[in-house]
Structure 1
Amino acid sequence: MVKLSQYEIEREANIARNRALLEELELKQAVVDLGIPRTETKVSPVTKAKPVQSSRRPRPEKLEAEAPRRQSLRLRKETVDPNESPSKRKRREAELEEQRAKEAEERLEAEERARITKRPRHHDLGISTLAEEGLNELSALSSALYSVAQTSQPRRVGDPEAFSFDDNKKDEACLAELRARLQQLQVVSRAKVTQDRVYSAAYHPEITKDLIFFGDKHGQLGIWDARAPAEEVTDEDGDVTSIDGEGGKYWRLQLHWPPTSKSSISCVKFDPVDSHNVYTSSYDSTIRSLSFTSGISREIFSMEDNTLISCIDLTPSGHEIWISDSHGRATHMDLRESKKFRRYGLSDAKIGCISVNPTRPHFVLTASNNRSLKIWDVRNLQKMTTELSEGVPPTLGSPPASGDLDTTLDYTGREFDSTTVTAYLQAKPGKSCLRAEWRHDKSVSSAYWDPRGRGIVSTSYDDTLRLWDIDSTRLGSSSPFASSRPFSRFHHNCQTGKWLTVLRAQWSPNPDVYPHFTIGNMTHSLDIYSCKGDLVTRLTDSKRISAVQAVTCSHPGIVERAASGNASGRCVLWAVSDVD
């Protein structure tokens, strides 16, 4: 017997241990390869749970015809017949050349059509062109708009002296009554009204239904009938079921074109006299008007220098509109004559918000990125326009008696840059143009007059809300205000960042109740504050809302109704649940 060395003994021991280990792990093939006989045991395979299949049958995909591909001339060259006559060859080459020219012309026409579809639309557009829905949806939208257009519902203006108490107990009583009514609000309807981020909103004054208009990032206007019966669909088996997760009915109109971020709807306003007409401003430098009666959207204003229109507001008469833009200018236009407009350089930075006083329309409020909030007496700006157009030194005469446009003056297409306006403000006649100014710590994102025309609320990137209360004696004087300090200032997180719409504090347009405003909260709630800065209530629903309600608005006639929208296009109606 051959004596094994110590190395071979250790090697045999390692082989034996490996065999035993493979047997324990039940690795059949490895054991067979090692030549170890063993009895195989049948192991049942491990089964995996199948995913839940949809009860609906998938729709067959539509087969689209493939477009002809372009080929090189080498591949398209036909085989030449050596016996072909010269005349026949010339005819064939002429036919090929004609075919190539025709294909090139068709290709150029297709490219031109593609370029045209990407250009802004400046002509009149019907609802059938704006909507992407079917015929039934269009008829439902037309009937909904026509029904609210039967009655004229002008915007009501508050009394400047309303809710102005010397006794604090009366203020506390009004606040308690308002809190008792608004604390009952809860989520009663939700729907994805727009396809992209909500930028602006407006609540229609109709009291028989909740009709809310939302403008989104890509120029789409969502019209939401929040309390309408839920939509029903019929499947292939004929069963009728309601659509879960959506409340009411909504329609989407592509008002501003093309649908890109350059067409974002920055503001939505109803005509203050006839609420069946809605105005929308867009970053594409246009303003459009949609009529409920005719169903036609027409362009009423356009800028040629690609200026972003940030905000619009109308005077109570409905004949004039004020427009703010990203170049720090404010444009005043007469809607009765579209060519009559005046443009003033009121700031060296973007004016993000402009607001017309509802009771004294000659007072205009501007909020700018240069950290300033300013109150302008536009009667004197109109006077400046007249004097400079005549080329005479500016001398201040008596201003117009009202804030309406003086149609005897020629304002056609006149523009005054910031240098001209600054020089006029420094002169003695122009000192009455700027009535008040307050500088914030950072950019002022919004500032609005309340329905009484005496209260102001501003939001700023310095995470602060500020409130002013200007009495009638100061507004009635012709001299600058002695002091413009806010009477209330409190913290509110306004750091929305890049992906959220800027938070704006919006007054309730209802003049019959204690003045209050709504604003979104970064903690996904909807905050309601009084005109004195008291927190009335904080509306929240963690089970149904998980996003910042950045854009808000309130019903002009019903206190217990408010709406909000978020960055995904989903909108919420807050109301009392038992109200039909």
Structure 2
Amino acid sequence: MHTWQELTPEDVEETVRRSSRTVLAPKRLKYSPENSPAQTSREEKGGHGELSEYELERLENIRHNQAFLSSINLFQVIRQSHCSLFSQETTVKEALPARKSLRLQNKEAEVLTLPPEPRGMLVYEESMRISEEKVAKVVKDRIFSAAFHPCSSSLLMATGDKWGKVGLWKLGGEWGSDGVLLFEPHTRPVVCMAFSAAHPTHLLSLSYDGSLRCMDVEKACFDDVYDIGDGLKTFDFMSHDCSTLVVGSWFGEVAIVDRRTPGNSHESLHSLDPKALRCVSVHPLQKQYFAVAENKVVSIYDSRCLKKTNSPSVSQLNGHSLSISSAYFSPCTGNRVLTSCMDNNIRIYDTSAMTTKSPLLSSIRHNMHTGRWLTKLSAVWDPKQEDCFVVGSMERPRRVQVFHESGQPQHSFIDDENLNTVLSVVAFHPTRNALLGGNASGRLHVFSDLQRDQNVYE
């Protein structure tokens, strides 16, 4: 039986410390490893003798929380990652000879033959398997969002559920029975989350309750990044340092938020489609472009040309007959956009030229109707490559499917013993051979490389 350590405060208002951008003084979480003023004053009065049984149990949870977060060793991973990146960027380039014109030397130009484009498709390793140890109940209710931490030395995952809870799970973690911690920074579904690439200890989570918050995983505290009171739906990073974000709401508005600016409001607010707005995705290279799923069309905007209302789009992706669940730029070049639509089609568009009407490359028939009790399916790219994506499935036996952008099926992850539920929320690890899937009961399932996992469990 998988269990988790719940660290849920009595009052949600008191669990979040306000960002330094607000006029309010920062407030530390009750379950932060650091002592709170109230706790300190009680200790000065003579230890814990005056605390109730409930408060003593909470203090014990804090100590367990601190021990678990310390065991993750994220700081060491970050230092190693930064050193690796720095060494790559500072490599001295080989001096090249000066270019000379062949025409001035009376020589014919050399005819260069380009290598043929690779036509083979990646075959996903059959060594990616699931087992009983790779299934855990991480949150209490239906999963709406999930993400892998980018570290490759261990598998650390985060997920958000229907009632505002955020769970952390380290595969093979020794803390507790399965390495799970539970927090409650929100009050409604946590529908979008992502780890910061620039600050890997930061986990950003967004909820229907109108709040966007940043958790410091090492310190177990939350900052209030953006708050409108109700209706937030989606966000993405608009800068490589992850300090600027585009945030979308149910009301058809996008906000540009700069975390470096004091306060927890936006820099600018723009009304787009008042009917619906379900997903935003920023171009991986040209960060000024972002795609927006607006009801039955996906529009690509240039953030430099946004107006308060009636902003002109750079390109549109047409052909959807029902509402669009998601739209994502391809992870390496942004030359493709992947859309999931309730008309039971997954579509791939060519956005390499940013024409007024981006051409449709392929359309894959896929049952997207999950019913009211399951989170909607959304196809997402494999971040390690440009042309493959993964999506949950309603088929039996239960599975997760991988497709090539051409529409050809690549692989189906199936396991009769450990996978018997629909995994609506799916994601590939950014560097490792690992795939997660979240279901309606709060469980995460992980398919990962057996050889790498042996190092975790030994």
TM-score, normalisation: structure 1: 0.60
Tell whether 2:394 aligns with 1:522: yes
**Which residue of the partner structure matches residue 256 of structure 1?**
186
Equivalent residue for 2:405, pick from 519, 522, 531: 531
Equivalent residue for 1:171, pick from 119, 137, 148: 119
Cα gap change, 1:148 to 1:186, in 2 (>3 Å): farther
CA displacement at 1:372 relative to structure 2: 1.1
Task: Give the structure with higher Rg (CA).
Answer: 1
**Which residue of the partner structure matches residue 149 of structure 2?**
204
**Which residue of the partner structure matches residue 344 of structure 1?**
270
**Which residue of the partner structure matches residue 249 of structure 2?**
325
Q: Conserved in 1, the CA contact under 8 Å of 2:347 and 2:360?
A: yes
Equivalent residue for 1:134, pick from 34, 40, 61: 61
Q: What is the CA–CA distance in structure 1 between the aligned matches of 2:193 and 2:209, rounded to whole Å?
A: 15
CA displacement at 1:535 relative to structure 2: 1.2
Tell whether 2:127 aligns with 1:184: yes
Equivalent residue for 2:373, pick from 499, 502, 509: 499
Cα gap change, 1:287 to 1:118, in 2 (>3 Å): closer
CA displacement at 1:274 relative to structure 2: 1.4
Letter aligned with residue 256 of structure 1: H
Tell whether 2:378 aligns with 1:454: no
Instruction: Provide Cα deviations, 1:358-394, integer angstroms capped at 9, x if missing partner.
Output: 10111110112x211111112111xx4xxxxxxxxxx
Cα gap change, 1:220 to 1:438, in 2 (>3 Å): same
Equivalent residue for 1:354, pick from 268, 272, 280: 280
Cα gap change, 1:542 to 1:303, in 2 (>3 Å): same
Equivalent residue for 1:483, pick from 357, 360, 367: 357
Q: Conserved in 1, the CA contact under 8 Å of 2:325 and 2:341?
A: yes
CA displacement at 1:489 relative to structure 2: 0.3
CA displacement at 1:229 relative to structure 2: 4.7
CA displacement at 1:127 relative to structure 2: 6.4
Instruction: Provide Cα deviations, 1:432-482, integer angstroms capped at 9, x if missing partner.
Output: x432242411000000011121111100100000002322xx24xxxxx15
Q: Conserved in 2, the CA contact under 8 Å of 1:149 and 1:293?
A: no
Tell whether 2:289 aligns with 1:363: yes
CA displacement at 1:227 relative to structure 2: 2.8
CA displacement at 1:329 relative to structure 2: 0.8
SS in structure 1 opposite 2:275? coil
CA displacement at 1:483 relative to structure 2: 3.5
**Which residue of the partner structure matches residue 227 of structure 1?**
172
> What aligned pairs does 1:404-483 form with structure 2 within 5 A after superposition?
416=308, 421-422=309-310, 425=311, 430=312, 433-452=313-332, 453-471=334-352, 474-475=353-354, 481-483=355-357
Q: Conserved in 2, the CA contact under 8 Å of 1:501 and 1:550?
A: yes
Instruction: Provide Cα deviations, 1:213-252, integer angstroms capped at 9, x if missing partner.
Output: 01111111110111335856xxxxxxxxxxxxxxx41111
TM-score, normalisation: structure 2: 0.75
Letter aligned with residue 129 of structure 2: Q
Cα gap change, 1:505 to 1:120, in 2 (>3 Å): farther
Q: Conserved in 2, the CA contact under 8 Å of 1:182 and 1:537?
A: no
Letter aligned with residue 571 of structure 1: L
> What aligned pairs does 1:116-155 form with structure 2 within 5 A after superposition?
117=11, 123=17, 124-126=27-29, 128=31, 134-148=61-75, 151=78, 153=81
Equivalent residue for 1:195, pick from 132, 140, 143: 140
Q: Conserved in 2, the CA contact under 8 Å of 1:201 and 1:215?
A: yes
Letter aligned with residue 367 of structure 1: A
Cα gap change, 1:438 to 1:352, in 2 (>3 Å): same
Letter aligned with residue 246 of structure 2: W
CA displacement at 1:195 relative to structure 2: 0.7
Q: Conserved in 1, the CA contact under 8 Å of 2:166 and 2:184?
A: yes
Q: What is the CA–CA distance in structure 2 between the aligned matches of 1:561 and 1:271, rounded to whole Å?
A: 19
CA RMSD between the two structures? 2.6
Q: What is the CA–CA distance in structure 2 between the aligned matches of 1:145 and 1:299, rounded to whole Å?
A: 24
CA displacement at 1:531 relative to structure 2: 2.9
> What aligned pairs does 1:286-305 form with structure 2 within 5 A after superposition?
286-304=211-229
Q: What is the CA–CA distance in structure 2 between the aligned matches of 1:293 and 1:149, rounded to whole Å?
A: 12
Number of aligned residues: 373
CA displacement at 1:507 relative to structure 2: 1.3
Q: Conserved in 1, the CA contact under 8 Å of 2:297 and 2:316?
A: no
Equivalent residue for 1:274, pick from 178, 181, 199: 199
**Which residue of the partner structure matches residue 577 of structure 1?**
450
Gaps of 5+ in 2: 1-9, 18-26, 34-56, 86-113, 454-458
Instruction: Provide Cα deviations, 1:513-535, integer angstroms capped at 9, x if missing partner.
Output: 45322110012211111233221
Instruction: Provide Cα deviations, 1:55-101, integer angstroms capped at 9, x if missing partner.
Output: xxxxxxxxxxxxxxxxxxxxxxxxxxxxxxxxxxxxxxxxxxxxxxx
Cα gap change, 1:376 to 1:439, in 2 (>3 Å): farther
**Which residue of the partner structure matches residue 92 of structure 1?**
none
Higher helix proportion: 1
CA displacement at 1:574 relative to structure 2: 0.3
Higher strand proportion: 2
Q: What is the CA–CA distance in structure 2 between the aligned matches of 1:435 and 1:127, rounded to whole Å?
A: 47
Letter aligned with residue 541 of structure 1: D
Deviates more, 1:289-298 or 1:212-221: 289-298
